[in-house]
Amino acid sequence: MPQAFYDEMESPIGPLVLCASEQGLCRIDFGSYAEVKESLHKWCKSKLYADTVFPDKLVLREAVNQLEQYFAGSRMAFTLPLDMRGTSFQQRVWNALRQIPFGESRSYLQISQAIGSPKAVRAVGGANHNNPLPIVVPCHRVIGANGELVGYGGGLPTKRFLLELEGWRG
C-alpha cells in the first residue's frame, strides 16, 4: 500500500501543510492541518491510493527548509523531488510554470502558447487552479493579459505577497 506523509509549517502567509508520497513532494495546502485534514486525506486516497497519511517531519524536512529559504528571500528555485499527479495537459502546463523565472510573470495566453496550445487559455487556467504544489510550481506568476492579478487558490493578497517577495512590480 502506498504511503503518504505530511508536515505543517508556519510561513509569512499563514500555515502551510505539505504532503509527500514515497516519490516526492506532491501537495501544498494553505491553512492548518486541522483545516485541510479532510480534503488532504481524500486527495491522498484518490491520487496516491494511500489509506493513511502519516505525520512525518523527516521526509519533508528539505521541503520545509527550501520554503523557509524562499520566504527569507534566499531561494529563487526549488530543487525537490516532485510527484505531480495530473493529466498530460496539466503536466505540460505545470512544467511551463516551472520555467517562469523568479520575479517575472506570464499571462495565461503566454503559457498556452508556450505549451503549443494557443487556443487553450481557459484550460491553462483550469490546470493552474488544479496545481497541487502552489509556490513550488509557481502558478502565482501567472497574471491576466491586462497585467491584473486574477485568481489564486491562496487568495489574491497571498498572490500579491508572493509576487512582491520576488520583486514583481505590477
Catalytic residues: 139
- In which residue are the cell numbers 504511503 written? 3
CB atoms within 10 A of CB 128: 24
Cα–Cα distance, 49 to 135 (Å, whole number): 24
CB atoms within 10 A of CB 1: 7
Question: Measuring CA to CA, which residue among 7, 2, 26, 25 is closest to residue 17?
Answer: 7
